[in-house]
Structure 1
């Protein structure tokens, strides 16, 4: 039996949840799969329907662990410990029937506790890391983040060394694990997070069948779609756009998250053309189709370890991207390689204002070419089939 310890899972509308669901579904074609999850809670402020029943080939076990959807350091630490404790107990109670443990859990405590339990019981484990901790803490608690990071680094290194296989989601992450955690290059594999491109292709086909001529005086739309959290930098975009006062343009902030209300209050203080939209499940392609340019702001240092999942959705929607990110991040490198937009340093209002005013006046053909470039690059590197198959092979290798 394959046991999957998944911190997020459907009906949560976050990419990590859809990835683990895809993996469980694919593995269940040939193996017995049991998925251990907490109660759905992500993103903060999202309303979950009580009717979430599905007919899956795998079994899902919802553990009574503590959840903390709102960004709070102590709450998130307790959430990680609680999930790790419940999963570890489950593994101990069922160890004789388990062949391999797949871990995509909260850092640092849950990941450490589950990997340690599997190791002690002689079970093989595959640790799938979505973000690098404790380095990410320095962006959330700058004053003491570096000190806390140095104290916690051995814990993360130990949990990765206990795993049979480590999966990294970006080139920078893989390089860092090898250089700072002492992980052998033979033990770590690179598997990019993926998007289900078919939903974007199907929506585009429907759109083509009911094509309506674009209005000549259409308002130019800058859009951010994703989790509105503390490291996303949406507050910076809201302020910059409001102060830029670009004629015949609007900013749409779509999604949920702990910073949404704060960003809305900032926008209200300016009285500018800034709109906040909810994104119903399954409506990402439809929502992004209304944008001219997608925005991807990330706080300084926060985007070094992975490629934000929202970027993949932007690319599959064939939209140009303005990214305000670290220049040597995987996100910046992806946009440059794909030639699908522009890369600016984080939180530089003058440069972003200048670029937004320039982009509004670019020819439609130029914008469409950027969008097509991104789409072709995403199909080659971030497709579901390519990366899901690679991850499945890694797990099978450890059975």
Structure 2
């Protein structure tokens, strides 16, 4: 029987945007009487999250969890081993099912897991739809000392070019990413489709906040993975710089590899709170914010778009973003008039903006949040973007058999 294979680095019950993207794609494809198989590693993200046993009794697709090595902590060697291990496990699955596979949708760990999948698919003449969430090795070298970054870049960029050039279609999550890949990887523009990551807008539409109890404190809030690239430490340092915090608070909701570090950074600050953020409670948690916060280190926003931004907009809250002004997210905020953009990694500027915004009339902020919500419905909805991805995957037929 003809089968579509989804290879994904994360999958529910992991409360990660990419996990839910892959789940939505699998469910949508299987509605059309398609045989769909999902391959993923053991749940491990974000670091510190406690997983309940997944229930998938009514699933219309097959889900195979391979016994590959996982490394939820942000450790370079561990993540390298994880990528290789999962890639080799996927190689085996592809080889065992090669005669029946019409297409592979891939949203997996860079760069080695991608390489094993692409190489095995090429050998068996199976088309690949490659979903790029972040650009490597660029994202990696931003975390390395300068003397290492140049060496690592030139050691790995050739591998990324191989992976991308041997995919039949590439999905970029933003226009900036598409242009960057075309210029820096030598790809033809027609090979790259821009399809935005989505949140399930129905979860936000269904949430009833009529019984919500508002805090008397003006609430700044960050919701999402607490990782190095997210710049949560920058948010905390900036908030600490506000002199009078008697009527405001900062809530950090989520888990991740940098949570303990950020909690240490916030020690002694009674106006900073850390909350858990189960995926199913995100609409309720974000409803308690007055303003939602984004932070990306300098340069990262030029090729990456934080998926939490979409969830922020569906919560009808204004956003303060500390990131590159040329980033797609910054352009969206300005286009929708739903928030404020400040320079990345500039503590004094973010501190000043938070102080300023905390004094703005709440009706003005609520109107900004509503404008962001309307923008998200028009551009970032699940239905619009899910339909585009599934149509792209279904455009490939079983043509590699002789």
What TM-score range do you get, normalising by the shorter chain? over 0.9
Where do 1:217-232 residues align within 5 Å? 218-232=216-230
Deviation of residue 364 (structure 1)? 1.4
The residue aligned with 1:133 is 136
Deviation of residue 256 (structure 1)? 0.1
The residue aligned with 1:342 is 340
1:139 touches 1:231 (CA, 8 Å); kept in 2?
no
**For each residue in 1:167-209, what CA deviation from the matched residue of structure 2 results, as whole angstroms up to 9, or x when unmatched?**
1111111001111111111211111001111111111xx223x
Shift in alpha-carbon separation, 1:194–1:281, aligned structure 2, 3 A: closer
The residue aligned with 1:73 is 76
Match of 1:9 among 11, 20, 41: 11
Shift in alpha-carbon separation, 1:163–1:51, aligned structure 2, 3 A: closer
Give the Cα separation in 2 of the matches to 1:66 and 1:211. Answer: 43
1:135 touches 1:146 (CA, 8 Å); kept in 2?
no
Shift in alpha-carbon separation, 1:211–1:49, aligned structure 2, 3 A: closer
Shift in alpha-carbon separation, 1:195–1:341, aligned structure 2, 3 A: same
Deviation of residue 150 (structure 1)? 2.1
Give the Cα separation in 1 of the matches to 2:288 and 2:212. Answer: 13
Aligned residues: 392
1:139 touches 1:300 (CA, 8 Å); kept in 2?
no
Where do 1:205-284 residues align within 5 Å? 206-208=208-210, 210=211, 218-245=216-243, 246-268=245-267, 270-284=268-282
Give the Cα separation in 2 of the matches to 1:293 and 1:354. Answer: 14
1:242 touches 1:272 (CA, 8 Å); kept in 2?
no
The residue aligned with 1:332 is 330
Find the residue that maps to 2:266 and give its secondary structure: helix
The residue aligned with 2:86 is 83
Match of 2:49 among 46, 51, 54: 46
Deviation of residue 373 (structure 1)? 0.9
Q: 2:38 matched to 1:35?
A: yes
1:242 touches 1:273 (CA, 8 Å); kept in 2?
no
Deviation of residue 379 (structure 1)? 0.7
Larger mean Cα displacement after TM superposition, 234-243 or 285-294: 234-243
Give the Cα separation in 2 of the matches to 1:142 and 1:222. Answer: 32
Find the residue that maps to 2:31 and give its secondary structure: coil
Deviation of residue 74 (structure 1)? 1.0
The residue aligned with 2:400 is none
Q: Which runs of 4+ in 1 moved over 6 A?
A: none
Deviation of residue 342 (structure 1)? 0.4
Give the Cα separation in 2 of the matches to 1:128 and 1:50. Answer: 27
The residue aligned with 1:197 is 201
Unpaired stretches in structure 1, ≥5 consecutive residues: none
Unpaired stretches in structure 2, ≥5 consecutive residues: 398-402
1:4 touches 1:103 (CA, 8 Å); kept in 2?
yes
Aligned-residue RMSD, C-alpha: 1.3
Give the Cα separation in 2 of the matches to 1:168 and 1:39. Answer: 26
Deviation of residue 4 (structure 1)? 0.7
